[in-house]
Amino acid sequence: MVALSELNGLDLEGFVAALGGTFEFAPWVAKAAYARRPFATVAGLHETLMAIFRAAPREQQLAFLRGQTVLSRRAMTRDSEREHRGAGLETLGPRLAARYGEMNDAYLARFGYPFYIAVLRYSLAANFAELERRLAHDADTELATAVRELFFVTRLRIAAHVEGEGAPLVNGRLSTHVLDTQAGRPAAGLAIALYEEAAGRYHRVTTAVTNADGRTDRPLIGGRPLPIGRYELRFGVGDHFRRRGIEGGDPPFFDIVPLRFSIAEPEGHYHVPLLCTPWSYSTYRGS
Amino acid sequence: MVALSELNGLDLEGFVAALGGTFEFAPWVAKAAYARRPFATVAGLHETLMAIFRAAPREQQLAFLRGQTVLSRRAMTRDSEREHRGAGLETLGPRLAARYGEMNDAYLARFGYPFYIAVLRYSLAANFAELERRLAHDADTELATAVRELFFVTRLRIAAHVEGEGAPLVNGRLSTHVLDTQAGRPAAGLAIALYEEAAGRYHRVTTAVTNADGRTDRPLIGGRPLPIGRYELRFGVGDHFRRRGIEGGDPPFFDIVPLRFSIAEPEGHYHVPLLCTPWSYSTYRGS
Amino acid sequence: MVALSELNGLDLEGFVAALGGTFEFAPWVAKAAYARRPFATVAGLHETLMAIFRAAPREQQLAFLRGQTVLSRRAMTRDSEREHRGAGLETLGPRLAARYGEMNDAYLARFGYPFYIAVLRYSLAANFAELERRLAHDADTELATAVRELFFVTRLRIAAHVEGEGAPLVNGRLSTHVLDTQAGRPAAGLAIALYEEAAGRYHRVTTAVTNADGRTDRPLIGGRPLPIGRYELRFGVGDHFRRRGIEGGDPPFFDIVPLRFSIAEPEGHYHVPLLCTPWSYSTYRGS
Amino acid sequence: MVALSELNGLDLEGFVAALGGTFEFAPWVAKAAYARRPFATVAGLHETLMAIFRAAPREQQLAFLRGQTVLSRRAMTRDSEREHRGAGLETLGPRLAARYGEMNDAYLARFGYPFYIAVLRYSLAANFAELERRLAHDADTELATAVRELFFVTRLRIAAHVEGEGAPLVNGRLSTHVLDTQAGRPAAGLAIALYEEAAGRYHRVTTAVTNADGRTDRPLIGGRPLPIGRYELRFGVGDHFRRRGIEGGDPPFFDIVPLRFSIAEPEGHYHVPLLCTPWSYSTYRGS
């Protein structure tokens, strides 16, 4: 982590070295930015870097993209973060995984550079869908789309490596809250699991248990962008009321309550609470 | 269909013939009931038949059960009604289907008569679970359980063949209702599908589209007992608001809304409505 | 009550006599309609009568209006239906009641005919507000407004006196339904009161107790137009849960639950249900 | 404000002076507590003081109570905090205000000391009801009740004057939150008013406008005990949707939405949110 004020005071070599990882193999971006110091905000620094990239000749932009390895494919297969979330490429099944490889090859053949995407901002299924959608683009539209993804990738890198005033908002948050409206108090000790959709099935991302305030100690997803995609939250409502000794049918009318929703804004705050009795429940996008 | 008043007036031979199908291969039940005419209600007739069966010597009850074919296995494989609902034995997969066969064999070996169950009152999964549960019974408990199932089977037959005063309640009803609380009116033209759980997966039972009143023209299940089991209703909420031109996120925050619930009372009325906006919904067991 | 078919077959004198009460002191309307027989629907008959009135010379329309007694003032003071509903002119208090009289006088002075309004379609407060609003009209706008009210008045009369195909919809319905979502069943025996707003206070219109289905045996308002106005429903939620022995705070968190809403469509169906636990409730315009 | 550590280090005179205002005119309580220093927590200090008071001879307790001025009557008439909240004794109307005076006189005559109550923990109506209820007590029950009130009064004073570890919880909190579930976001700029019931009418306590998060910048009541009583929150839902240009009927189906609830725990947290569309709303006791 480098402070913005420190960055503003570096010499050219130091400045380029400090920002080297932002635009990989493209020191010309940082070099051009050097002249525009000092930067008042971290977001301003990032915007300047992107403005330099956008103003560069098309051939230079394409050269940059050609130099990128197949980021998203690697991310979808080996990336540790992805593995942690449990939805790697193999999740798609052999047929779709092969299809993903073929589409990457087709993309490279069509546009002359590998498929470039801000992999942290997409679920596996959304990444797949994006590749499919972008394959149909013409060259200009697709270049603009790749540069837009570059914007998100480099913004994340800047936010991770430079600290100071005016840091860009790069993280989203997914949270929940369970109220037992039969008892008029938070539902404590209730089991929650979060699933992410891929290839028509739901894969578990994380689990949690509600605390005394009916919330989870940590956000279900936090400290990173929310991957665009479809999700399902599952709440152990039947067990909760069984533990409380409340009659709710045998088997209980509601046992596991699923809430399905989509995330469309990776930097947004999604609060998806559950208000429940043994015989009713409601949910909403909260704040 | 025979009228109760007509039944009351028949001679012994006619009376036994008219009720012949109720207790298959056991004309002694109807014969004994003949002396107790006239019957004031259809339910009273059925209760009398069952009282006679229950008062019979244990050996006679066992002989009756031994004479029954393996009803539920047949029902779960070939029964047209079951096929129509889309959850036949093959739904369980080859491993569980084989296990079901083995358990039937074990049951026959243990109790000396085939597994007897009021097949219309159970989902495939519940039928399977009942067989598993009942295998652990001792002989007395299981005989009482089988006689209880006989009660439900014969009640359905009596209700289907005898008309008149005091008919027993044998049918349940599952219905829904969709209100668009954003517009303050019923959601018309919204697609609904009902699924039944078996072996951890949900199998489609029926589909419907809401009418101008937000209801389905016919109950989702009606005119029969509701099979005990786990269900999922799926509502095309995303499409509904898209058609109305209402913005609800891209992709929409809610697309297919699933409601999972259990049915525990085959003769009950389950009304499971959905109140929805693009950003919130609620449900409850209604009436 | 006269049948439409019978009406179609009457001679001129009989026809005019039969419809005499519809346009009071204006037999010329019925006379002109006689030539347009037969009428296929009751609504068609009414539309024809109104078309004749609308096509009449302005002076003839004004003469009709001048011949009307001060209907609404009488209705608001002595009308038995109004008294039954408990919100007569005295409800407004002496100051507003006097103001109502003055506005009627001003209206007569300004337009040359008494204030004409379909009194059954307005609450006392809405009637008052209409008079205030209409006093500011120019002569043409007000004549059109008075004729529109005449449309509603005569439609009610036709619907009340002529039966047959295609009867116009003249009645609305206000109903409710209480679900105890803690118990998962209708709330039976729960006390409900309906109030109507006038001069900033709420005056009781009717009371009811829910039946076994959580509904009232009769609509709260039915068999008549719903008076445009502001209403409050009050539900005895605290007593309901106290009777059930459910703890809900001492004093209970919710005791009398008030729902305030407006009726804007006298011929509409307003279903205003309550879903409640001791600690939560919801309502919506249902169907 | 004095620090607990400082208090622990004072000499007898200083200690008694520092705590002098807690038990007015009863330095014997503080004197006896001096020997039990040091105190580990503020709550422990308060419990010790009360234990000393409770262990004192009955006559000494009664002497203390006789020495109190008629606290609550004064509070209900002149207390600035009460006036601020807008529900002084005159709110009850002359008849009930006179009745309150008579009951105070009767209380003094019956028990030999003035009515003692922790006035901050009661609404005017609840204070009145307590006086009425306590008048029926026998001498022992009432003395215990008065001592319980003394517990609350002195706890508030200790919390206000001594700072340090283990401060007792003396304040409650009433908050709200408005979600526009039609838009899927907090309702900003929505007007809220809080009313308190007295003598069957609702008197305004405070008003607020929701901020960008749909909350109020400060709790509706906070930094003090919540007065036990009946309340009504009123939300300007009609105006909110009108500003957003959303059609909700003319007049709007919901205009001012009232939520009536009771507070029973002065030190509790009451969160009473509203989720609303133009055609539906729900509320619950949240956390």
Q: What is the CATH number of the domain that holds D140?
A: 1.10.3330.10
Contact partners, residue B48, CB within 8 Å, separation at least 6: B33, B36, B39
- Counting DSSP H helices and E strands in chain B, the numbers are 11, 13
CB contacts of B277 in chain D (<8 Å) are 181-182, 184, 277
Query: Is the C-alpha dihedral spanning C57, C58, C60, C65 positive or negative?
Result: positive
C92 or A123, which is more confident?
A123
**pLDDT tens digits, one per residue of B40-97:** 999 999 999 999 999 999 999 999 999 887 555 555 554 445 545 555 777 778 888 8
Quick one: D208 and D254 in the same domain? yes
Considering the domain architecture, whether residues B33 and B76 belong to the same structural domain is answered as yes
Chain B residue numbers touching C213 (CB-CB < 8 A) = 287
Size of interface C-D (CB pairs under 8 A): 63
D80/D146 same-domain check: yes
The answer to whether D256 and D239 are in contact (CB under 8 A) is no
Chains in contact with D via at least 3 Cβ–Cβ pairs below 8 Å = A, B, C
Residue with tokens 């073929």: A102
Q: In whole angstroms, what is the distance from residue B174 CA to residue B125 CA? A: 18
Mean pLDDT of C56-76: 80
Same domain? D201 vs D69:
no
CA distance A31 to A12: 7
Is residue D84 predicted with pLDDT exceeding 70?
A: no
Q: What part of A 46-75 touches C (C-beta under 8 Å)?
A: none
pLDDT by residue for chain A (287 residues), tens only, comes to 899 999 999 999 999 999 988 998 889 999 999 999 999 999 999 999 999 999 999 999 999 999 887 555 555 554 445 545 555 777 778 888 899 999 999 999 999 999 999 999 999 999 999 999 999 999 999 999 999 999 999 999 999 999 999 999 999 999 999 999 999 999 999 999 999 999 889 999 999 999 999 999 999 999 999 999 999 999 999 999 999 998 878 889 999 999 999 999 999 999 999 999 999 999 999 88
B255 and chain A: CB distance < 8 Å anywhere?
yes
- Is 60 exceeded by the pLDDT of residue B8? yes
Asked if residue A179 and residue A73 are part of one domain, the reply reads no
A158 and A214 assigned to the same domain = no
- pLDDT band of C163, cuts 50, 70, 90: very high
Asked if residue B53 and residue B186 are part of one domain, the reply reads: no
Q: Token pair of C267, please?
A: 């011929």
Contact check, Cβ <8 Å, A277/C277 = yes
Contact B252 A260 (CB under 8 A): no
Q: Mean pLDDT for chain C? A: 92
Distance from CA of A286 to the nearest CA of C (A): 17
Contact call for B253 and A285, based on CB within 8 A: yes
Nearest Cα neighbor of D154 from D71, D60, D270, D263 is: D71
The residue of D179, D197, D256, D260 whose CB has the most chain C CBs within 10 angstroms, and thus the best one to mutate to test that interface, is: D260
What does the pLDDT read at residue A93?
82
Report the amino acid identity of residue C86.
G
Contacts of B284 in chain C (CB under 8 A): 179, 181, 184, 275
Q: C255 with C238: CB under 8 angstroms?
A: yes
Tokens (6 digits) for D110: 């019956």
Q: By CA distance, what is B183's nearest residue in D? A: D279
Whether residues C155 and C182 share a domain: the answer is no
Contact D253 C230 (CB under 8 A): no
Residues B136-143 have a mean pLDDT of 98
Does C91 lie in the same domain as C17? yes
Of A138, A163, A188, the last residue of a domain is A163
Chain D contact probe: residue of B182, B246, B281, B283 with most D CBs at under 10 A? B182
pLDDT reading at D87 higher than 60? no
What would the 3-class secondary structure string for D223-253 be?
Answer: EECCCEEEEEEEEEHHHHHHHHCCCCCCCCC
- Per the CB < 8 A criterion, the answer to whether A146 and A112 are in contact is no
Contacts of C178 (CB under 8 A, 6+ apart): C186, C187, C190, C192, C210, C214, C235, C273, C274, C275, C276
pLDDT over threshold 50, residue C83: no
Domain end: D163, D180, D214, which one? D163
Q: What is the pLDDT of residue B91?
A: 76
* DSSP 8-class letter at A226: P
Distance, CA of D45 to CA of D33 (rounded, Å):
8
The total domain count for chain D is: 2
Residues D76, D131 share a domain: yes
Residue D205 has pLDDT above 60, yes or no: yes
Looking at the fold, whether C15 and C112 belong to one and the same domain comes out as yes
Question: Closest by alpha carbon to C122, among C158, C160, C89?
Answer: C89
Helices (H), A112-259: 124-134, 139-161, 237-244
Query: Would the CB atoms of A255 and B253 count as touching at under 8 Å?
Result: no
The mean per-residue pLDDT over the stretch D198-210 comes to 93
pLDDT (mean) for D122-144: 96
> Where does a domain end: B163, B191, B220?
B163
Q: Please say if the pLDDT value at position C162 is more than 90.
A: yes
Question: By residue range, what is the domain housing residue B253?
Answer: 172-283
Q: Domain with C219 in it: what CATH number?
A: 2.60.40.180
Look at the alpha carbons of D102, D105, D106, D107 in this order and tell me if their dihedral is positive or negative: positive
Beta-carbon separation of B248 and D280 below 8 A:
no
Nearest CA in chain A to B257: A260
The answer to whether the Cβ–Cβ distance between D184 and B280 falls below 8 Å is yes
Q: C75: pLDDT confidence band, cut at 50, 70 and 90?
A: low
Per-residue pLDDT band at C76 (split at 50, 70, 90): low
Q: Considering CB atoms only, which of B254, B260, B282 is closest to A282?
A: B282
- The answer to whether D285 contacts C262, with C-beta atoms less than 8 Å apart, is no
The reply to whether residue C184 touches residue B282, judged by beta carbons under 8 angstroms, is no
- Mean pLDDT value of segment D30-59: 96
Q: CA-to-CA distance for A272 and A250, rounded, in angstroms?
A: 28
Query: According to the per-residue pLDDT averaged within each range, which of C80-94, C121-135, D86-100 is highest?
Result: C121-135
Residues 6+ apart with CB under 8 A from D41: D4, D164, D165, D166, D167
Confidence band for D189, pLDDT divided at 50, 70 and 90: very high
Out of B20-34, C3-17, D1-15, pick the least confident: B20-34
ipTM of the complex: 0.90
Taking only residues 225 to 254 of chain B, the set having a beta carbon closer than 8 angstroms to any beta carbon of chain D reads: 248-249, 253
Question: Do residue B125 and residue B49 come from a single domain?
Answer: yes
Mean pLDDT is lowest, of A102-111, B118-127, B217-226, C20-29, for C20-29
| Contact at CB, D257 and C260, closer than 8 angstroms | yes
pLDDT per position as a tens digit, C245-267? 988 788 899 999 999 999 999 99
